[in-house]
Amino acid sequence: IYTLKSWPFGDVICRLSEYFKDVSIGVSVFTLTSLSAERYCVIVNPIRSHVGGGGISSRSLTLLIAVGIWLLAVLLALPAALFSNVQTRRSDNGQTVLFCSPFPPKFGQTYKQMIVLCKFLVYYAIPLSVIACFYVLMARHLEYSTRNMPGELQGQSTQVLGRRKVAKMVLSFVFIFIVCFLPIHIFMLWFHFYPDAESQFDEYWNAFRIFAFCMSFINSCINPVALYCVSGTFRKHFNQYLLCCYREMGSNGTTYETSTHTMVHFSSTTRRHHLKNNTTNIRRHHLEDVNCSCSTTTTTLEHTS
């Protein structure tokens, strides 16, 4: 069943292993879903996204969402902590094999199928469907806003590109999650729903099961690598604090969002000074015209007298 011939770690480690595996998967997928929702809110309504509903600050809202994600993941993983146990099975050569299973034998095949299907829906199908909806709406909004952006707001297109870049970064994490967790869900659905799965379980399916198991854990390892590749800010700080030879290179970088805000602020300040100078010039010319008019009137009166 495993790369080892039998489960050697006992019942407690079996429960903890299955429990924290489900917690890790839940935190990963729920975090990706919340990040997609956050990116959608920032792109569609960037001003309101800094303040949550009911006047809650963005930092407090982020903290509440993080706590909610962990609580939901912990609660959904409780069945694995309560019911996982070490079971025995006779191998083909008559030896007793121990293996860790999240499915108690007393609950029967229906419980196994229900848990496998629920995990597929809660940890994979439903979150990815929600993420897909957010990104479709996000793409439609970006296309609409680009076509209908007024001429005086074209300077803010850099800020839109910055938000689009962050959205692409989150989308890359979602794609990695899809690729890493698809094999394990394929195997679990096949093994527990296909009637002849146990009789057809051979070396090929065992190798595929081990590959799928490893891929599900590679997801957590590959995320920092992907973040380094797509995020200039993360790459700059990583080089600055963890790679001494790249410290000078990292210190010369600037964050994309800061430069965007600086450009927008500079543009707004320039427009403000331009309007102020125009108003001052108009008033000055108006006063000069009035003074000239008064001088002409005085001269005319003097000649008349």
Q: Is the pLDDT of residue 290 over 80?
A: no
220 and 270 belong to one structural domain: no
Interior angle at CA 50, CA 46 and CA 54, nearest 5: 120
CA–chain centroid gap for 216, Å, is 18
For 131-267, list the strands marked E by DSSP: none
Task: Specify the higher pLDDT residue, 233 or 162.
Answer: 233
Q: Is the pLDDT of residue 54 over 50?
A: yes
Nearest-angstrom CA–CA distance, 188 and 219: 18
Are 234 and 227 within 8 A, CB to CB?
Answer: yes
Q: How many CB atoms lie within 10 A of CB 234?
A: 15
pLDDT of the residue at 291: 46
Q: Is the pLDDT of residue 117 over 50?
A: yes
Task: Specify the higher pLDDT residue, 195 or 5.
Answer: 195
62 and 130 belong to one structural domain: yes
259 and 224 belong to one structural domain: no
Nearest-angstrom CA–CA distance, 149 and 294: 48
pLDDT, tens digit (0-9, with 9 covering 90-100), for 119-166: 999 999 999 999 999 988 888 877 776 666 555 455 556 666 776 777
25 and 167 belong to one structural domain: yes
29 and 126 belong to one structural domain: yes
Nearest-angstrom CA–CA distance, 227 and 223: 6
pLDDT of the residue at 206: 86
182 pLDDT band, cuts 50/70/90, is: very high
Q: Is the pLDDT of residue 195 over 80?
A: yes
Residue-wise burial string across 120-146, b where 16 or more C-beta atoms lie within 10 A, e elsewhere: bebbbeebbeebeebbeebeeebeeee
Looking at the structure of the chain, the number of domains it has is: 2
- State which of 212, 228, 244 marks the end of a domain: 228
The contacts of residue 74 (CB under 8 Å, 6+ apart) are: 23, 26
Write out the residue range of the structural domain in which residue 113 sits: 10-228
Helix axis angle, 157-193 to 203-230, nearest 10°:
170
Are 68 and 76 within 8 A, CB to CB?
Answer: no
pLDDT of the residue at 297: 38
The pTM assigned to this predicted structure is 0.69
pLDDT of the residue at 275: 43
215 and 274 belong to one structural domain: no
pLDDT of the residue at 261: 39
Straight-line distance from the first to the last Cα atom of the chain, in angstroms, rounded to the nearest whole number: 121
pLDDT of the residue at 67: 97
pLDDT, tens digit (0-9, with 9 covering 90-100), for 207-230: 999 899 899 888 878 878 888 887
Mean pLDDT of the chain: 76
Interior angle at CA 248, CA 244 and CA 254, nearest 5: 120
Q: Is the pLDDT of residue 299 over 60?
A: no
191 pLDDT band, cuts 50/70/90, is: very high
Q: Give the bridge partners for 99, in sequence order.
A: 87
Task: Specify the higher pLDDT residue, 107 or 140.
Answer: 107
Answer yes or no: is 234 within a domain: no
Are 185 and 120 within 8 A, CB to CB?
Answer: yes
Question: CA of 247: how far to CAs of 92, 100, 164, 250, in Å?
Answer: 59, 47, 28, 5
220 and 278 belong to one structural domain: no
138 and 285 belong to one structural domain: no
Answer yes or no: is 250 within a domain: no
Q: Is the pLDDT of residue 70 over 70?
A: yes
In sign, the C-alpha dihedral spanning 283, 289, 295, 298 is negative
Nearest-angstrom CA–CA distance, 125 and 170: 18
pLDDT of the residue at 139: 80
201 and 271 belong to one structural domain: no
